[in-house]
A and B are shown apart, each in its own frame.
Chain A
Amino acid sequence: MNWIEIFRSGISTGTVLLIAAIGEILTERSGIQNLGVEGMMLVGAMAGFKIAYQTGNVWLGLLAAIAAGGLLSLAHAVVTIHFQADQTVSGLSLTFLGTGLALVLGEGLTGQVAPIIPRASVPLLSQIPYLGQVVFSDHNLLVYFGYLLVPITWYYINKTRPGLHLRAVGENPAAADTLGVNIYRTRYLYTFVGGCFAGLAGAAISVAIAPGWYSNLTVNGQGWIAVALVIFAHWNPWRAALGGYLFGVLRRFTLDLQGPRMLFGLANPFFFNTNLVFFLQMTPYLLTIIALVWGSSAARKKRIGSPAALGTAYQRGERGR
């Protein structure tokens, strides 16, 4: 079993979840919950692959994916911010809408080959033993984008003025409004940004990590995992990164575990009975449930947790909800 390969691949596949989860964190921090991540990712995966295939330019594909995810999220923004409809219902129907759109527009793309995101190593850093091989060598460029995205988003949310406004809008929109923050504009903006990231995450699958278009099986539920990951991460980009990479590592680890006959000097149970792998494959999901339970009790004690205004529509001048 090659630990370097396992961690490398965990980081690479975890990047998809990371990008989608960070987009959703930004959206939810503004008080809008968008459960349509799966739909937006699928539209992004389709648009990215289709444009990359038609133009032969993978970067145009990425742009198309970002635009497609962002545009779709605007439907959710209009419904929930302008018309103040229920965010859960709208988010769920956004998944249907996105899936349907992706299937219609993706017809005939199966079996095609499109250019993919190039791979690269970071000079010098990739020479570090072990760490360099795992983190800095021969990854597709989106993985490095993920590395940059985490600290930047954290800094933006917690240390900058627009980030302060974002948090204020998500925690107490009425107070933010009296301070002159435009609630509607802020929420529109971050819903759109969240959609752009979801679209990018979808394209990260279809033109980088598992290249190709396989209808609605392309994304195969990873959008829902990203939504769960946001809660797992307590709306914190660092934890989202940890969760995403951990998920990726476990997904790969369960496969490699079937290879060696001996493990740490003992007979490897997963070699002799691959049915045990069924249980291992549950672990990421079990961990999510445990994190949810633990998270809700920790949230009560430490007052960390969901943005206070998450899921509620804001109407100017209305008080005492």
Chain B
Amino acid sequence: MRSKLLLFVSLFLVFAMALSACQTATPPEEPPVSDVDCGAASALEAEGAYQVPAPIEGCFNVAFVYVGPHDDGGWSQSHDEGRLWVQENVPGVHTAYVENVAEGVDSEQVTRSLARKGFDMIFTTSFGFMDATETVASEFPEKDFVHVSGYKFNGTNFGNLMGAMENIKYLAGMLAGSRAKTDGNPKIGYMATFPIPEELRLGNAFALGVAKTCPECTIDVRFIHTWHDPTIEQEAAKSLFDAGAQVVMTGADTPAPAIAAPEGKWGITYDYRHNCTHDACLSSMYWDWGPMYKIEIEKSMNGTFAGEAVYFDTYEGGMGLLGFMQGEEYMPGVADLPAEDLQMIQDELALFMSGAKDRFALFTGPITDNQGNLVLAEGESLRQVDLDCFEGPDTPCEGGVGMYWWNENFTAELP
């Protein structure tokens, strides 16, 4: 009786695991004898809680490590969209991914296991994967590693990749300001995730944009301390709307501001171009990773990858403001804005796209913080090191400006 029971329980567990594995497991296709099909699905093998894919011989194998599900509707999905683009557009490359990887020890094991299995290049796409990627990169000097959204690199086989989303947030700020001014309620909300330099940078860029189209507008802030939690994001968006905001911009993944927006109010979503599907959504500030990946992968394929810090600007591609890029249409809440405001946004976008304006031009004085201090005097600009840094002793931007300030139109206090 007892052994029967054990057998049943173990069978049930195996069944459960097999089913939960199904999310990525498709039967591997037999490669054609003459020509290797690099677009085929990877064979998967369970390692701990993760399904680790195997490379395909004869292809250049690239693996991606995601912090969330590949279809989270936000950050991780924007990366998966990029991965699929690479699979489609870079011949001879086979791509695979591991999803839902926890930051810390787990990510190190997953990354190491991918390297050991023979992947030639590995992208790790969450800030918290940085140290793990650095460790594994030192163990596999013949393979290349790219960490997205961090700041470490080793000059040989471990580089980082990030883009100037601040430019897009700035344009979104102009859009939000125009909308709030037109609706006659000059209040705007910013739903920030964590009190880190990146979130203050993006918030300040947004605020500078708001000031451009709506000088009298003020910005309220809520920190939600998560990148992705539908319920909390919903609550934070409501909290901002209840406090009077007309437009809410988010730094997190879900389209919560657009869903929570009461009749006649608006939200702006982030990360993934296809998450701006509600009528109350003005636009999505999205990533377009595919072409950026292609550049890095081709460097690695022809041996010129050098483990650098790559920080692409808008003119290099990799990002967009939904409705304003080529071939896109305005969302319903944008179409009825004053034509001169829309023209102004288009003109600014054109400057960014041509490279005539970049992130440094965006953060150029005079800029005053909300305490009345002059952050940047007329003509002064931030340096690259200031963008991702809180000024203080022993920081990269020591003695410089850093990012620990709120632009003058914020009503909120610094975190």
Contacts and interface: CB of A to CB of B under 8 A. Distances in A.
A86 B9 contact: yes
A264 interface: no
Query: Which has the most chain B C-beta neighbours within 10 Å: A214, A261, A272?
Result: A214
23 contacts: A83-B5, A103-B20, A104-B22, A104-B23, A107-B23, A109-B71, A110-B71, A111-B277, A210-B230, A214-B253, A215-B70, A216-B69, A216-B100, A217-B68, A217-B69, A217-B228, A222-B231, A252-B238, A252-B239, A256-B243, A259-B239, A274-B415, A275-B195
Given A103-B23, A210-B230, A210-B234, 12 more contacts: A5-B242, A9-B238, A85-B5, A96-B17, A97-B16, A106-B71, A111-B272, A209-B231, A212-B73, A212-B254, A215-B72, A255-B239
Interface string B225-262: 10011111111101100110000000001111001000
A172 interface: no
A100 B277 contact: no
Nearest to B68: A217
B140 interface: no
A126 interface: no
Interface in B1-56: 5, 8-9, 12-13, 15-17, 19-23
Contact of B234 (A93, A209, A215): A209
Interface of B: 5, 8-9, 12-13, 15-17, 19-23, 68-74, 77, 100, 195, 220-225, 228-236, 238-239, 242-243, 253-256, 259, 272, 274-275, 277-278, 412-413, 415
Given A84-B5, A216-B69, A255 B235 contact: yes
A216 B93 CA distance: 29
B23 A255 contact: no
A274 B272 CA distance: 27
B229 A93 contact: no
B19 A214 contact: no
A215 B69 contact: yes
B9 A89 contact: yes
A217 B235 contact: no
A205 B230 contact: yes
Given A99-B20, A111-B277, A275-B195, A214 B239 contact: no
A215 B99 CA distance: 11
B16 A93 contact: yes
Contacts of B13: 89, 93
B40 to A, nearest CB: 19
A112 interface: yes
Contacts of A84: 5
Interface in A237-287: 251-252, 255-256, 258-259, 261, 271-275, 277-278, 281
A211 interface: yes
Interface string A103-141: 110111111110000000000000000000000000000
Contacts of B242: 2, 5, 256
A143 B278 CA distance: 24
Contacts, number: 157
Nearest to B15: A97
Nearest to B278: A113
Contacts of A255: 222, 224, 232, 235-236, 239
Contacts of A110: 71-73, 77, 274-275
A101 interface: yes
B8 A277 contact: no
Contacts of A205: 230-231
Contacts of A9: 235, 238
A57 interface: no
A5 B23 CA distance: 39
A96 B49 CA distance: 11
A11 B195 CA distance: 29
A90 interface: yes
A306 interface: no
A13 B73 contact: no
A90 B9 contact: yes
B22 A220 contact: no
A79 interface: yes
Closest A-B pairs by Cβ, 6 of them: A100-B20, A215-B69, A210-B230, A110-B73, A97-B16, A274-B415
A218 B230 contact: yes
A222 B229 CA distance: 11
A169 B81 CA distance: 53
B313 to A, nearest CB: 28
Nearest to B100: A216
Contacts of A13: 231, 234-235
Interface string A133-177: 000000000000000000000000000000000000000000000
Nearest to B236: A255
Query: Which has the most chain A C-beta neighbours within 10 Å: B8, B71, B278?
Result: B71
A255 B224 CA distance: 7
A90 B12 contact: yes
B130 to A, nearest CB: 21
A9 B72 CA distance: 25
Interface in A10-35: 13, 16
Contacts of B243: 2, 256, 259
A211 B19 CA distance: 26
Contacts of A274: 195, 223, 413, 415
Contacts of B224: 255
Query: Which has the most chain A C-beta neighbours within 10 Å: B16, B21, B234, B274?
Result: B16
B72 A96 contact: no
A139 to B, nearest CB: 13
Contacts of A111: 73, 272, 274-275, 277
A38 to B, nearest CB: 13
Contacts of A259: 220, 222, 239, 243
Nearest to A76: B12
A212 B71 CA distance: 12
Contacts of B232: 251, 255
A21 to B, nearest CB: 16
Nearest to A276: B415
A187 B289 CA distance: 52
A16 B69 CA distance: 23
B19 A101 contact: yes
B255 to A, nearest CB: 7
B233 to A, nearest CB: 7
Nearest to B69: A215
A94 B19 CA distance: 11
Contacts of A97: 15-16, 19-20
B85 to A, nearest CB: 17
A176 B275 CA distance: 54
